[in-house]
């Protein structure tokens, strides 16, 4: 059984989807992209810390900054390529999961979780 799992993993690692995902992930380490993602993470953490406090103690300006960074991220080709590759890889993995776990149980939830 472990041999079959290893073979399946090797097959997934050789797919175009996995290769594109790896390349896109490597491109995220471009200096400007790292700075943009770090700025987003920092602003998001700051916003989450103060958003529940009563009164406006900078929430609005922080929210606007966060929206601006989100816009910049949406315009960043490295980030967009990453999300596209990520979605394609997830689609492939969902197909594999459905095939592997098909007919095991009617109660088993194998479709991708959607928020």
End-to-end distance of the chain based on CA atoms, in angstroms? 34
Look over the chain and give the mean of its residue pLDDT values, rounded to a whole number: 89
Question: Can you identify the CATH homologous superfamily of domain 2-101?
Answer: YheA/YmcA-like (1.20.1500.10)
C-beta separation of 45 from 112 below 8 A: no
CB count within 10 Å of CB 4 equals: 9
Q: Say if residues 27 and 84 touch (Cβ distance below 8 Å).
A: no
Average the pLDDT over 36-55 and give the result: 89
> pLDDT digit string (tens) for 64-95?
999 999 999 999 999 999 999 999 999 999 99
């Amino acid at each position: 059984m472990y041999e079959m799992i290893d073979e399946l993993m090797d097959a997934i690692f050789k797919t175009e989807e996995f290769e594109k995902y790896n390349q896109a992930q490597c491109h995220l380490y471009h200096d400007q992209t790292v700075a943009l993602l770090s700025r987003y993470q920092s602003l998001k953490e700051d916003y989450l810390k103060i958003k529940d406090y009563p009164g406006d103690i900078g929430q609005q300006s922080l929210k606007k900054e966060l929206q601006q960074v989100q816009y910049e991220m949406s315009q960043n080709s490295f980030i967009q390529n990453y999300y596209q590759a990520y979605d394609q890889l997830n689609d492939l993995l969902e197909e594999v999961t459905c095939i592997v776990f098909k007919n095991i149980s009617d109660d088993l939830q194998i479709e991708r979780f959607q928020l």
